Amino acid sequence: MKEQLEKALQLRSEGQLEVSNQILVDLVQLYPQDALMNYQCAWSFDVLGREREAIPFYEKAVSLGLAERQE
């Protein structure tokens, strides 16, 4: 899980937004109760300009107890 998340974040930083997003969507499917995964997935939709798709993931992250500040 950690390696896949790091790969997705690296790809996002390199501008490979669609590939990064797909990895994060897959991770959320595998770990639906992980607040950080939901947060990162939401963020990936945001950077793609797909804010409406991000909302449920942000809401889920918060409901799962996401800390106030994420890096």
For residues 8-33, average pLDDT: 97
User: Domains (ranges, CATH) in the chain?
Assistant: 2-63 (1.25.40.10)
**According to the model, what pLDDT value does residue 48 have?**
97
State both tokens at 51: 């804010």
**According to the model, what pLDDT value does residue 68 have?**
61
State pLDDT tens for residues 26-68.
999 999 999 999 999 999 999 999 999 999 999 999 999 987 6
Degrees to nearest 5, angle at CA 16 with 14 and 19: 140
3-class secondary-structure state, position 8: helix
**According to the model, what pLDDT value does residue 69 have?**
52
State both tokens at 17: 């937004």
pTM to 2 decimal places:
0.89
